Structure 1
Amino acid sequence: MGTTVSLTLIEPNDTVAQAVFDSIKLLEDKLTVNRLISEVMSINLAAGSHPVTVSSSVFSLIEQAQKVSLHFNSCFNFAIGPLVKLWKIGFNGQQVPPAKLIKQRLLLTDPNNIELDTNNRSVFLKKFGMEIDLGAIAKGYIADVAKLILHKYQVYQGIINLGGNVLTLGSPLTNENSYWHVGLKKPFATDDKLSGVIKVKNKSVVTSGIYERFFIQNNHLYHHILDPKTGYPLDNELDSVTVISNSSLEGDIYSTVFYGWGLDNSRKYLQKHQNLSAIFLLKNKTIALINPDNFVFQLIDTQYKIITD
């Protein structure tokens, strides 16, 4: 998945750990677009030609990704694959593509042009050159599956960390009032400096930020969160969005949605959905905490000013 995956358990258990990592490997093999062979790549290679039948788990995830892509007016779009491949941000050859090519690729990113057949569990990309990319949702789904496996083995305390997707089970040790501590990275820091620490129990913590994958060309920063409407990296007031939720899949979805919406529109949504919480790091060194009843935040970097809703 292009990241380090770690599992922390209160008591050593090689059988449980092996079951979790075997499951992660199996799901990655199905969902990746970074290899020629996977269920998702089979769909992409058949674009404009014929539907492809996939496993129930992959079909279910694609259904959810399409629903979110169509429902939210945001930068969440699982059909954005052709643009991701064009920009190559975070990979060899990254550069600003010609405007003409961006316009051409935009025509291949409409999620309405993806036909799902529930009865046959088949997926059809109607236009040649279309590609789906589940990168914005796959890690959250995999983390939730790992949690189910841990519960199957009656493990109810621990941390699953899929590089930016942190899912905590229960609370640490035997103290029910204690919290897991999840670091919130300082944007663009050259080392492991933190903006703050998020304290949670039995919650998912997922961050979407512009500082993990980016490049600079002609003194302008280009990051990996692309705007499906323009084809260019989204430009707003945010450095990152962190979502605290019950499931990691929710965190994946809403961290991307909220980044696309920006602070004001996200705040309006969160005021109506108190089960979700979010932390917004703004470029002006402000940290906005929305629905903070679900977590505790400890400020580390005193350059920031906190506002709370």
Structure 2
Amino acid sequence: MSDNRVWSYSAVLMGSPILLKLFSHDEALASRVFSLIKQYEDLFTVNRADSQVMDINHAAGRHPVVVSRPVYELIKCAKAASQLPESAFNLAIGPLVKLWRIGFKGDSVPAADEIAARLRITRPQDVILDDAAASVFLAQPGMEIDLGAIAKGFIADRVRDYLHQQGVSDGLINLGGNVQTLGSPQGGWSIGVKKPFAAADALVGSIEVVNKSVVTSGTYERYFEQDGKLWHHILDPRSGYPLNNELDSVTVISTDSLDGDIWTTLLFGLGVEKGCALLRQRQDIEAIFVSKNREITLSSRRQFRFTPLDASYRLTDCTA
């Protein structure tokens, strides 16, 4: 379908609705983009028994598995992010994700001893990499890699690169939480920042970006309630329980969507104060924190313009 001179193409991949926007009608190009996404999904998924990542998981504690270069490089990147100081990112969190089942049928709060047992097999340093062979070995039986927190960013960047190769200067790809923009049609792309636990179209604000990735991670995306308490899908690999701090969501603006994936998780784990302190050291990464106390905190506004859209939220910045 088209809106003025923008053509939109959609598909359901990676468990999410995928949206591609182009400024010329090209169904063949859209089809190739969706095929490219499907190829990468088939490599990375842990939601089916057959993928290169599942081959690694099935061999845990037994032998290394040689994988394709994209899979190896993404795992290497994810391990590095997992070993940063105070990192809430953990590529080996698979056993905990499966235990909680958040967003799937049968989700409930696991027993404390079950969580403790799974924590023992989620150590990122037990993911053994061999650069020469491009092999991955999970040192402990029962270990499982889960690239769900990083795969969409990697794929969004590959789609951007492919569109550039095809001569596309202006466009947008939305992989469900990961938005990668190309060019600056009419001065920039406008991306909404969702209002937590509200209607799907309710926004706390919008941002305008040019040639940037926008990645949001929020407690409202997948959760369940038990005994009057909300349990969301963003797990803390240090405790085994959902992260519990002042935040409802973090939106990261960066050039690469892969960085956006990593930094939303890192910043969510750090909270506003520590997150702001870390961002002062990075000119290339910016963030929008949305807190439970209805406060929106901007790290800076070098790479985007923010327009507040909900008067019940107070706007502040990292220097306040």
Q: Given the alignment of the two structures, is residue 218 of structure 1 paired with residue 227 of structure 2, yes or no?
A: yes
Structure-1 residue corresponding to 2:6: none
Q: Where in structure 2 are the equivalents of 1:49-88 lying within 5 Å? A: 49-88=62-101
- Structure 1 moving runs of 4+ over 6 Å: none
The CA distance in 2 between the partners of 1:4 and 1:293, in whole Å, is: 30
Q: Helix, strand or coil for the counterpart of 1:281?
A: strand
The CA distance in 2 between the partners of 1:66 and 1:183, in whole Å, is: 31
Structure-1 residue corresponding to 2:312: 303
Instruction: Letter of the 2:270 partner, please give it.
Output: W
CA deviations over 1:154-199 (Å, ceiling 9, x no partner): 1010100000100110111xx4xx1211111100003421111111
CA deviations over 1:247-267 (Å, ceiling 9, x no partner): 100100001100001011111
The CA distance in 2 between the partners of 1:191 and 1:118, in whole Å, is: 44
Instruction: Letter of the 1:20 partner, please give it.
Output: V
Q: Given the alignment of the two structures, is residue 40 of structure 1 paired with residue 53 of structure 2, yes or no?
A: yes
Structure-2 residue corresponding to 1:275: 284
Instruction: Letter of the 1:244 partner, please give it.
Output: I
Q: Which moved more, 1:271-280 or 1:190-199?
A: 190-199
Q: Given the alignment of the two structures, is residue 181 of structure 1 paired with residue 190 of structure 2, yes or no?
A: yes
Structure-2 residue corresponding to 1:256: 265
The CA distance in 1 between the partners of 2:153 and 2:209, in whole Å, is: 17
The two structures, once aligned, show a CA RMSD in angstroms of 0.9
Instruction: Letter of the 1:264 partner, please give it.
Output: E
**Residue 14 of structure 1, CA deviation:** 2.2
Q: Is the 8 A contact 2:22 2:171 kept in 1?
A: yes
Q: Which moved more, 1:225-234 or 1:70-79?
A: 70-79
The CA distance in 1 between the partners of 2:30 and 2:180, in whole Å, is: 15
Q: Helix, strand or coil for the counterpart of 2:298?
A: strand
| Bigger relative CO (Cα 8 Å, ≥ 6 apart) | 1
Q: Give the number of aligned pairs.
A: 305
**Residue 201 of structure 1, CA deviation:** 1.0
Q: Helix, strand or coil for the counterpart of 2:50?
A: coil
**Residue 15 of structure 1, CA deviation:** 2.7
CA distance 1:148–1:34, change in 2 (3 Å): same
Q: Helix, strand or coil for the counterpart of 1:294?
A: coil
Q: Where in structure 2 are the equivalents of 1:1-309 lying within 5 Å? A: 1-172=14-185, 175=186, 178-309=187-318
Q: Is the 8 A contact 1:75 1:225 kept in 2?
A: no
Q: Is the 8 A contact 2:206 2:309 kept in 1?
A: yes
**Residue 303 of structure 1, CA deviation:** 0.4
The CA distance in 2 between the partners of 1:72 and 1:50, in whole Å, is: 29
Q: Helix, strand or coil for the counterpart of 2:302?
A: helix
Instruction: Letter of the 1:299 partner, please give it.
Output: P
Q: Is the 8 A contact 1:72 1:257 kept in 2?
A: no
Q: TM-score, normalised by structure 2?
A: 0.94
Instruction: Letter of the 1:232 partner, please give it.
Output: Y
The CA distance in 1 between the partners of 2:169 and 2:85, in whole Å, is: 33
Please, which runs of 5 or more residues in structure 1 have no aligned partner?
none
Q: TM-score, normalised by structure 1?
A: 0.97
CA deviations over 1:86-117 (Å, ceiling 9, x no partner): 00000011000011100000000001111111
Instruction: Letter of the 2:45 partner, please give it.
Output: T
Q: Percent identity?
A: 53
